[in-house]
Amino acid sequence: MYRCLWPTNPELDAADAEVQSTFEKHSAAGEITGIPTLVGVIDKRVVDTALRWLGMERAQRRDYHWSDTGNADRLADLYGHELVYCTERKSYYAWTGRQWQFDELVEVERRAEKTILEGFGEAKHIMDADKRKAFLRFINGSLSRAALANMMHFARCCHQQREQ
């Protein structure tokens, strides 16, 4: 896949070796350490797509702020490869699996809500009971229409800054 998207990159052999190493470790049920290197060598969207095709889960890469901007980062990390904001049309395009389709915020809202719902799974990793309760209150509040709208807005702004 990355050979098609990246045919003239001089680092292609290094990327090839890293992909092969990661695949072999995953096949042997070993610890996979190559993903951060892959993301450094190959576009993150390509890596995420390849991992999904292989049925591999990518661990959360960072701690997110408990805010709308932190939620926007979650959305971008989970679904940035499937959502593109178009400034000319002031809306998103969503990847259908075959093509980019203009989105009247239906798909982006669905993905935003799914992103927040994933936060409930994150809560089980918080050992401190008071901190876990506070986090769950934050996640519940993040499901409000206003919080989801803020998250989508900040994700759009962050995407535009990364592209520049």
Are residues 151 and 72 in contact, defined by beta-carbon separation less than 8 angstroms? Answer: yes
Domain residue ranges in the chain: 2-54, 68-163
Residues 86-114: pLDDT tens digits?
888 888 888 887 888 898 878 899 999 99
Mean pLDDT of 33-41: 54
Point out the least confidently predicted range of 4-8, 21-25, 41-45, 70-74.
4-8
pLDDT band at residue 127 using 50, 70 and 90 as cut-offs: confident
CA 151 – CA 69 distance, rounded (Å): 6
Look-up of token digits 């876990």: 132
Phi, psi (deg, nearest 5) at residue 85: -90, 130
Flag whether the pTM goes above 0.75: no
- Say what the pLDDT of residue 161 is: 45
